[in-house]
């Protein structure tokens, strides 16, 4: 443990005493016409020494080593001035300077040693010069040194004891503060560890409330058992407007569990609008929170918004019967809990999204396999079966009518060629190699050619090359599959004579994919209402692939006037943020 610092006021008092003695010596020698060069050098040297001591003291340099040096300079000044005087007994009072400073610096021990040393030195000098004055010196100066030294020692002892007590109190307070800081860091670490230990969404919410109570108990908060706490998350109400619903709570009555709060007034609205923690000490006057029967006994409430950037999850609500329960320290701890809860909620949401995305990818893969199986069954498999039957027919026909058999073989050849084209088209849609080598526009044009060659379907491509230069390669692949899905839907269901695929810049950072046909059209709302029961996932694939590129899908159609599928595609991260905010 560090030693207590010296009493700094002793240095200032000793400086004043020293300056007073310098002035007194100068005046005494001047009055007696004894200011020769030796005395002047002594006085100037002492003035320089005391000036340096003044500067060091002003700079808070109060080390024990410096005090010893100051004391030695005082002894030297008093002894030399005493020695240079013609009548040493008349200058015996000079010994009061080192006596006073020794008493100030080192209390009783210093005062006693200074008295003994002063009298010894002065007695030796007087004995050598004027032995008759020795008894006068000892009889007069010993009481004087004692009378002066003891009060200075007493003052220094009392002041040093007081300073030491203050220093110890400061040390104790510092140690207490450091201990609390270490405890706070430990609590925060435990809190982070507990919230990071699970990715289960509901468990994260429950853990947040448990940790809030446990942390407040660690801080010796009174009546924590009467603390109401709840996590209110946004949900869609019956009128499609967002409302706050209790997802997890402590000390809640059953009738409050299904209660939805709009969050448009009072403490909740203030926390939501300001995006910062809000405190109320007049809870009964809050129109929204007073609807909760669980808060009937509560007088104070503290709301913390659960939000990160543009994502708002809800509110962390605490309430207590005591008006003064939410002190600054406790509010700070609850704010830490809220911030860590937001991070845990984000991680849990991301994990849920990944799980959903994984399931969705599995569904897409399964649907792709089913689609491939249907296409193989409806196309090449049927054609190959027909080829086999017609070859058998041609073989038997050759025995009776060679010319008719030749015509049949020609038809079989045409069927085989058409089947080969269908298989190649299927392979192209499964993995278009031209996409990897030449890019999106060349792939769309190749798709149009294959549609014409295989199905005699007119597909027109109108593409702006600037889109491809700004779009990532991985995103180009998804955009191609969106276009291919939309074109296939139009070919199969729209009875369209023409299909147009347009790819262009909508505005800075945004591209637009548009697939339009002149077919029979359909009622979008009625088809969307029972789409999953139809056994086909064409429109669902469009939506899911649009989400993969963080885009926006719009389908415009009506019976008798064709269909237009539009996909807005963000080309950079800034555009993704703009789409999320609806700008």
Confidence of residue 5 (pLDDT cuts 50, 70, 90): very low
Task: Say if 405 falls within a structural domain.
Answer: no
Let me know whether 38 and 142 are in one domain: yes
Most confident of 93-102, 161-170, 525-534: 93-102
More confident residue, 194 or 560: 560
Handedness of CA 120, 122, 123, 125 (dihedral sign): positive
Do 154 and 221 fall within a single domain? Answer: no
Asked if residue 30 has pLDDT above 90, the reply is: no
Cα distance between residue 322 and residue 33, in whole Å: 83
Other beta carbons within 10 angstroms of residue 521's beta carbon come to 20
Of residues 154 and 481, the one with the higher pLDDT is: 481
Range picked from 38-47, 231-240, 342-351 for highest mean pLDDT: 38-47
Beta strands per DSSP E along 82-139: none
CATH number, position 271: 3.30.450.40
Question: Given the DSSP bridges, would you call strands 498-507 and 458-463 parallel, antiparallel or unpaired?
Answer: parallel
**pLDDT at residue 364, rounded to an integer:** 67
204, 348 Cβ separation under 8 angstroms: yes
CB 57 within 8 A of CB 11: yes
Q: Are residues 277 and 322 in the same domain?
A: yes
User: Per mean pLDDT, which range of 256-260, 545-549, 556-560, 579-583 is the poorest?
Assistant: 579-583
Least confident interval from 262-276, 384-398, 544-558: 384-398
pLDDT of residue 535: 46
- pLDDT-derived band at 184 (thresholds 50, 70, 90) equals low
Look at residue 277 and give its three-state secondary structure.
Answer: coil
Same domain flag for 165 and 203:
no
In this prediction, residue 194 carries a pLDDT of: 62
Residues 340, 215 share a domain: yes
Lowest-pLDDT range, 61-65, 96-100, 183-187, 577-581?
Answer: 183-187
The residues pairing with 539 across neighbouring beta strands, listed in sequence order, are: none
Give the other-Cβ count within 10 Å of 280's Cβ. 23
Alpha-carbon distance 149 to 107, whole Å?
9
pLDDT at 238 over 70: no
Residue-wise pLDDT for 479-520, tens only, equals 888 998 899 889 888 888 999 999 999 888 889 999 999 999
Cα distance between residue 56 and residue 47, in whole Å: 14
- Which of 349, 372, 396 is the last residue before a domain boundary? 349
Same-domain pairing of 469 and 331: no
Kindly calculate the radius of gyration of the chain based on its CA atoms and give it in whole angstroms.
48
- Would you state the structure tokens that stand for residue 494, as one six-digit string? 């729209």
| pLDDT score of 3 more than 60 | no
Say which range, 13-22, 39-48, 101-110, has the weakest mean pLDDT.
101-110
Tell me what pLDDT residue 512 has. 92
CA distance 316 to 306: 7
Tell me what pLDDT residue 567 has.
92
Cβ–Cβ under 8 Å, residues 468 and 441: yes
CA distance 279 to 300: 8
**Domain annotation covers residue 462:** yes
Look over the chain and give the mean of its residue pLDDT values, rounded to a whole number.
Answer: 80
Beta strands in 186-299 (DSSP E): 228-236, 242-250, 260-261, 278-280
How far is it, in rounded angstroms, from Cα 310 to Cα 576? 13
Q: Is residue 565 part of a domain?
A: yes
42-46, 49-53, 384-388: which range is least confident on average?
384-388
pLDDT of residue 517: 93
Distance CA 356, CA 352 (A): 6
How high is the pLDDT of residue 459? 93
- Take residue 549 and report the two structure tokens written for it: 């590129």
Does residue 434 belong to any structural domain of this protein? no
Residues near 104 by beta carbon (within 8 Å), at least 6 away in sequence: 10, 13, 14, 17, 110, 152, 153, 155, 156
Percent of the chain with pLDDT over 90: 9
Model pLDDT, residue 159: 67
The CA distances from residue 208 to 23, 197, 218, 271, 304, in Å, are 74, 12, 15, 19, 13
Q: What mean pLDDT comes out for the span 97-116? A: 78
Of the candidates 223, 167, 121, 234, the residue with the CA atom closest to the CA atom of residue 7: 167
Place of tokens 């074109």: 487
Domain end residue (candidates: 290, 317, 349) = 349
214 and 109, same structural domain?
no
**Claim to verify: residue 223 and residue 163 sit in the same structural domain:** no
Question: Which residue, among 69, 152, 65, 166, has the nearest Cα to 104 in the 3D structure?
Answer: 152
In a domain, 2, yes or no: no
454 vs 434: CA distance, rounded Å: 18
Mean pLDDT confidence for 307-313: 77
- Cβ–Cβ < 8 Å for 156, 104: yes
- Is residue 371 a part of any domain in this protein? no
Of 559, 426, 444, 442, nearest in space to 513 by CA: 444
Task: Specify the range with the lowest mean pLDDT, choosing from 88-92, 109-113, 298-302, 431-435.
Answer: 88-92
Per the structure, the count of domains in the chain is: 3
pLDDT of 4 reads 43
- Compute the average pLDDT of residues 311-340: 87
Same domain, 280 and 148: no
- Measured distance CA(463)–CA(3) in Å, rounded: 82
Range of the domain at 98: 8-170
User: Tell me: the pLDDT tens digits for 403-419?
Assistant: 787 888 888 888 888 88
Highest mean pLDDT pick, 334-338, 471-475, 488-492, 510-514: 510-514
Three-class SS string for 126-175? Answer: HHHHCHHHHHHHHHHHHHHHHHHHHHHHHHHHHHHHHHHHHHHHHHHHHH
Ramachandran angles phi, psi of 276, nearest 5°: -140, 160
Give CA separation, 73 vs 66, 118, 123, 265, 552, in Å.
11, 13, 20, 77, 89
Q: Which residue has the higher pLDDT, 559 or 178?
A: 559
50 within domain boundaries: yes
- Average pLDDT of 59-87? 79
- Provide φ and ψ at 233, rounded to 5°: -115, 155
Phi, psi of 304 (to 5 degrees): -130, 120
**Residues in CB range of 445: below 8 A, 6 or more apart:** 461
More confident residue, 329 or 367: 329
Same domain assignment for residues 519 and 452 = yes
Does 240 have pLDDT greater than 60?
A: no
Sorting pLDDT into bands at 50, 70 and 90, what band is 129?
confident
What SS3 class is residue 518? coil
Q: Do residues 166 and 302 both lie within one domain?
A: no
Residue that terminates a domain, selected from 328, 349, 370: 349
The closest alpha carbon to 116, from 99, 128, 100, belongs to 99
Q: Is 406 helix (H, G, I), strand (E, B) or coil?
A: helix
- 511 or 473, which is more confident? 511
Task: Give the global pTM.
Answer: 0.47
∠ CA 473-479-482, nearest 5°, is 150
Specify if 393 maps to a domain: no
Q: Determine the Cα–Cα distance for residues 369 and 388; give it in Å rounded to an integer.
A: 26
Give me the sheet containing 498-507, strands edge to edge: 458-463, 498-507, 510-517, 563-570, 552-557
For the chain, how many helices (H) and strands (E)?
A: 17, 11
What mean pLDDT is predicted for residues 177-189? Answer: 66
Considering the domain architecture, whether residues 17 and 166 belong to the same structural domain is answered as yes
| Mean pLDDT computed over 331-343 | 83
Q: Which of the given ranges, 141-150, 237-246, 354-363, 539-548, has the highest pLDDT on average?
A: 539-548
Percentage of the chain lying above the pLDDT 70 cut: 84
**pLDDT higher than 80, residue 61:** no
| pLDDT reading at 540 higher than 90 | no
What is the pLDDT at residue 86?
66
Residue 72, pLDDT above cutoff 50: yes
């Amino acid at each position: 443990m560090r030693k207590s610092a010296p009493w700094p006021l002793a240095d200032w008092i000793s400086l004043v005493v020293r300056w007073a003695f310098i002035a007194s010596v100068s005046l005494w020698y001047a009055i007696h016409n004894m200011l020769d060069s030796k005395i002047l050098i002594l006085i100037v040297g002492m003035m320089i020494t005391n000036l340096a001591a003044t500067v060091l003291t002003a700079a808070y340099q109060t080390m024990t080593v410096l005090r010893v040096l100051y004391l030695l300079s005082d002894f030297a000044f008093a002894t030399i001035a005493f020695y240079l005087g013609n009548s040493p007994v008349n200058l015996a009072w000079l010994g009061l300077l080192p006596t006073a400073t020794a008493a100030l610096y080192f209390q009783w021990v210093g005062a006693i040693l200074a008295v003994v040393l002063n009298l010894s030195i002065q007695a030796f000098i007087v004995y050598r010069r004027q032995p008759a004055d020795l008894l006068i010196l000892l009889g007069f100066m010993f009481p004087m040194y004692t009378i002066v030294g003891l009060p200075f020692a007493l003052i220094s002892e009392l002041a040093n004891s007081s300073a030491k007590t203050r220093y110890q109190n400061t040390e104790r307070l510092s140690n207490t503060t450091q201990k609390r800081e270490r405890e706070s860091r430990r609590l925060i670490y435990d809190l982070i560890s507990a919230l990071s230990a699970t990715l289960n969404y509901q468990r994260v919410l429950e853990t947040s409330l448990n940790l809030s109570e446990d942390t407040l108990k660690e801080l010796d908060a009174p009546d924590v058992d009467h603390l109401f706490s709840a996590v209110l998350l946004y949900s869609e109400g019956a009128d499609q407007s967002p409302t706050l619903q209790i997802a997890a709570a402590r000390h809640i009555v059953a009738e409050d569990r299904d209660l939805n709060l709009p969050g448009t007034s009072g403490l909740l609205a203030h926390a939501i609008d300001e995006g910062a923690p809000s405190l109320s000490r007049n809870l009964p006057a809050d129109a929204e929170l007073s609807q909760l029967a669980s808060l009937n006994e509560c007088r104070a409430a503290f709301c913390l918004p659960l939000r990160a950037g543009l994502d708002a999850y809800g509110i962390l609500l605490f309430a207590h019967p005591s008006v003064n329960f939410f002190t600054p320290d406790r509010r700070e701890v609850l704010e830490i809990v809220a911030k860590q809860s937001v991070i845990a909620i984000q991680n849990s949401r991301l994990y849920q999204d990944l799980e959903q995305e994984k399931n969705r990818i599995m569904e897409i893969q399964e649907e792709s396999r089913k689609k491939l199986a249907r296409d193989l069954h409806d196309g090449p498999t049927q054609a190959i079966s027909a080829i086999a039957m017609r070859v058998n027919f041609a073989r038997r026909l050759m025995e009776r009518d060679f010319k008719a058999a030749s015509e049949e073989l020609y038809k079989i050849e045409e069927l085989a060629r058409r089947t080969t084209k269908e298989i190649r088209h299927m392979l192209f849609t499964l993995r278009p190699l031209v996409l990897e080598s030449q890019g999106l526009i060349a792939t769309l044009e190749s798709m149009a050619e294959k549609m014409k060659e295989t199905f005699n379907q007119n597909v027109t491509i109108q593409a702006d090359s600037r889109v491809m230069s700004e779009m990532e390669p991985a995103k180009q692949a998804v955009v191609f599959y969106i276009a291919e899905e939309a074109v296939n839907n139009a070919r199969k269901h729209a009875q369209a004579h023409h299909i147009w695929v347009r790819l262009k810049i909508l505005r800075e950072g945004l591209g637009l994919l548009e697939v339009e046909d002149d077919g029979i059209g359909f009622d979008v709302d009625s088809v969307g209402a029972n789409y999953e029961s139809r056994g086909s996932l064409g429109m669902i694939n469009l939506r899911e692939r649009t989400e993969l590129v963080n885009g926006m899908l719009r389908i415009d159609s009506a019976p008798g006037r064709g269909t237009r599928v539009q996909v807005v595609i963000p080309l950079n991260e800034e555009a993704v943020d703009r789409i999320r905010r609806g700008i």
